[in-house]
A and B are shown apart, each in its own frame.
Chain A
Amino acid sequence: MNVFRFILQNHRQVLELTLEHLRLVGFSTLFAMLIGIPLGIVIAHRPRFNRPVLASANIIQTIPSLALFGFLLPVPWLGERADRLAILALTLYALLPIIRNTYTGIRGVDPAVVEAGRGMGLTESQLLWKVEMPLAVSVILSGVRVAVVISVGLATIAAAIGAGGLGEFIFRGLAMVDDRVILAGAIPAALLALAADFGVGWLERRLQPR
């Protein structure tokens, strides 16, 4: 098929854009985890904050992605480099599934287990690291998995603001009305999403308690 011939002929660029794409997804997921997991832990222990935090993450999720990229464009330091901006936007979108699953995972730990641990004299941080986190890890990772898959798709739109990634091919193909070029971006993106889904899913099963 000529799509594959096109990809082969342009394999250097496909590879380059795939790596760019991975970089956007990788950094944004990492940041979302660094922010989302601690936040999820906090709201699981302090139910007072649970509504405002989850509501904010929900609202972010409802902003159309193209609009969010646009809104962030005039922000000083961020607007200077399109990839910074894309990473920030993708981080914001990845927050909700990660916060929500961390919250759900920790709340889902059997209260009898936590109570027994506390009664035995575990400190709050020992309870968190030895009991709650190991028991919640697979739920948390399934949130990360959702976040990664969403990010791989959303990151294609980042090309609209010049952040690179596989979206470049898609937008270029749309402009040229050339399906081969669109697919040269879409197929690797889809494969990337599948691979990420599989990879995090594998990790999830490996770390599953019991």
Chain B
Amino acid sequence: MNPVAASPVIEFCDVCYRVADTQVLSGFDLQIEQGETLVLLGRSGSGKTTSLKLVNRLLSPTSGEIRVKGVSNAEGDVIRLRRSIGYVIQDVGLFPHFTVERNIGLVPKIEGWPEDRVRARVQELLRTVGLAPEMAPRYPHQLSGGQRQRVGVARALAADPEILLMDEPFGALDPLTRDGLQREFLALQQRLHKTVAFVTHDLREALRLGTRIALMEAGRLITVLTPQEFLRSADPLASAYVRAFGEGLESAANRGAS
């Protein structure tokens, strides 16, 4: 870590989140630093998605607070907050009645960018995520799953946010497409240095993409480790994950670190 690091970009301070009688998150403390890819790893129901949604205030904590760039995200305008954070979800959530171009350009457009600047930005983003410019006038249902996911990433990057929240963005893709997108994500991240919070239940993906891995279970943060530490960890849950995923993890971690 950078010794003169400023305050973390995202900071969870003793956050609890409860729905009815279910404690979804309890005593959650976590700092996400500038430019890192922090992977939230855990099984379904462990509270990973909830913690992402607390960052852009799709949910509000029952107690505790979340600071974004040092300021509690409960203060200020929620719409401004969300537009300053890119959000990618597993089901992509592309607008089916919009072309690729309109999907990607929506936030810049409602932010009042002039038409030609929006168009230029869309072209630039299509290149960034590895899509041909001819894709711009197509509709989401005319694209493959991998292409849709790329459009989802491009859309999240549109207004050039510092922070990206990614909720199992590659979860529904076939292994080959997923592998390709993970590789591109790493390359992209090396250029853009966004602060990324990435949710997955796939240890292999976590080791490959994460600079650090936050292991969650039943609404609690168990431990935060680098991929290398994770593989050697004595923590029972971490080692259970490593056993469950078996051979070849070492190379995934090394690829991510390189």
Q: A: which residues have CB within 8 A of B?
A: 110, 112-123, 126, 130-131, 134-135, 209-210
Among residues of B, the one whose C-beta sits closest to the C-beta of A114 is B93
**Total CB contacts across the A-B interface at under 8 A:** 64
The SS class assigned to the A binding surface is: helix
B185 at the interface (CB under 8 A from A): no
B91 at the interface (CB under 8 A from A): yes
Neighbour of A131 across the interface among B95, B152, B155, CB < 8 A: B95
Counting chain A CB atoms within 10 Å of each CB, the highest count among B58, B93, B107, B110 belongs to B93
Q: Report the stretch among B40-48, B77-85, B127-135 that lies at the interface.
A: B77-85
Bound: A62/B92 CA distance, A: 44
Contact with A along B139-170 (1 / 0, CB 8 A): 10100000000001001100000000100000
> Interface size of B by Cβ–Cβ distance < 8 Å?
26
- Beta-carbon contact of B107 and A120 below 8 Å: yes
B241 at the interface (CB under 8 A from A): no
- Beta-carbon contact of B83 and A209 below 8 Å: no
- Beta-carbon contact of B87 and A116 below 8 Å: yes
The contact sample of 5 A-B pairs, CB cut-off 8 A, is A113-B93, A119-B56, A121-B79, A121-B107, A130-B95
Bound: A180/B106 CA distance, A: 60
- Beta-carbon contact of B141 and A210 below 8 Å: yes
Q: How far is the CB of B118 from chain A (nearest CB, A)?
A: 15
B89 at the interface (CB under 8 A from A): yes
* A120 surroundings in chain B (CB, below 8 A): 82-83, 87, 106-107, 155-156
* A209 surroundings in chain B (CB, below 8 A): 96-97
Tell me the residues in window 87-108 of chain B with beta carbons closer than 8 Å to chain A beta carbons. Answer: 87, 89, 91-97, 106-107
* A116 surroundings in chain B (CB, below 8 A): 87, 89, 91-94, 152
- Beta-carbon contact of A119 and B58 below 8 Å: yes
Bound: A196/B89 CA distance, A: 42
